[in-house]
Structure 1
């Protein structure tokens, strides 16, 4: 697939099935993430892959956070099932290194760019991916489970798998509503 066509037609599909990428395809996805902008060569990324029993572990982490927040049963059930929307979830973490020229915010953005690159690499290889966030990625219990310290942050959960349908057409947007010139 042409790179520009890929970028201009990016669309998430929220329900994915097996197979998930593996082998060289998964390696390409990770390598694409490692090509994100990286001021001062800090490599501010960490990727935690959950599949198989790892999805159960991710579910347990999220449920523990929801229970600690005294969430109702409906929320707990939703959180419990969330990791199973796809056969693989990559938790993308901004691993922040203190640096006088590269603030934590920039390192968080770099990790966000890694997610986008990984998503595009998945689609380019015939897979599909969607990026989820939500309040649980900021929860202290979730942070502890992933070993986050200081200004580290989870920037998203990248769900990966095989699409069960063709993505809907991308809506046309009026560029004049988003672009200004000085």
Structure 2
């Protein structure tokens, strides 16, 4: 796929199935994330991979957070099943270095660029993906159970796998709705 075609047709797929990226494709996807813009060469990101039994462990972490937050039984079950939406989930973590000359927001944006680059790499390799956030991205118990420290924060969860359905055409947006000139 040509790079410009890939970028112009970027989309999210919420329905994913097996197979997920194999070891070689996953390495390529991660390498794409590691090439993200990185002002100050801080490498302000890390990735937590969940596949196979790791998806079950991630579901248990979500379930325990839902219980701790007083969720009802349906919400607890939903939380536990969330990682099963795809065969592979990458938790993208922004590793913020506080009190650095590079502002914290730029460090978080760099981690966000890594998530985007990995989603684009997955799409270029023929996989679908969706970048999800939600309550589990901001929950202190989830962050602790995933081993986040200090000012680290979850930028999102990148769900990757094969498409269940053929994609429909992407909706074209009018640049005039978003662009102004000085």
TM-score bin (small chain): over 0.9
Match of 1:18 in 2: 18
Unaligned runs of 5+ residues in structure 1 are none
Match of 1:53 in 2: 53
Alpha carbons 1:11, 1:168 under 8 Å: kept: no
| TM-score normalised to structure 1 length | 0.96
1:174 equivalent in alignment to 2:147: no
1:5 equivalent in alignment to 2:2: no
Distance in 1 (CA, whole Å) between partners of 2:120 and 2:23 is 17
Distance in 2 (CA, whole Å) between partners of 1:170 and 1:103 is 35
Distance in 2 (CA, whole Å) between partners of 1:114 and 1:93 is 10
Match of 1:111 in 2: 111
Distance in 2 (CA, whole Å) between partners of 1:29 and 1:37 is 15
Alpha carbons 1:127, 1:163 under 8 Å: kept: yes
Cα offset, 1:54, TM superposition: 0.2
Match of 2:100 in 1: 100
Distance in 2 (CA, whole Å) between partners of 1:99 and 1:30 is 28
Distance in 1 (CA, whole Å) between partners of 2:13 and 2:133 is 15
Cα offset, 1:124, TM superposition: 0.4
SS for the counterpart of 1:39 is: coil
Cα offset, 1:68, TM superposition: 0.5
After TM superposition, list the pairs within 5 Å mapping 1:130-145 onto structure 2.
130-145=130-145
Unaligned runs of 5+ residues in structure 2 are none
Cα offset, 1:105, TM superposition: 1.2
Cα offset, 1:99, TM superposition: 4.8
CA RMSD between the two structures: 1.0
Alpha carbons 1:6, 1:120 under 8 Å: kept: yes
Match of 2:77 in 1: 77
Distance in 2 (CA, whole Å) between partners of 1:136 and 1:179 is 33
Distance in 2 (CA, whole Å) between partners of 1:82 and 1:76 is 10
| TM-score normalised to structure 2 length | 0.96
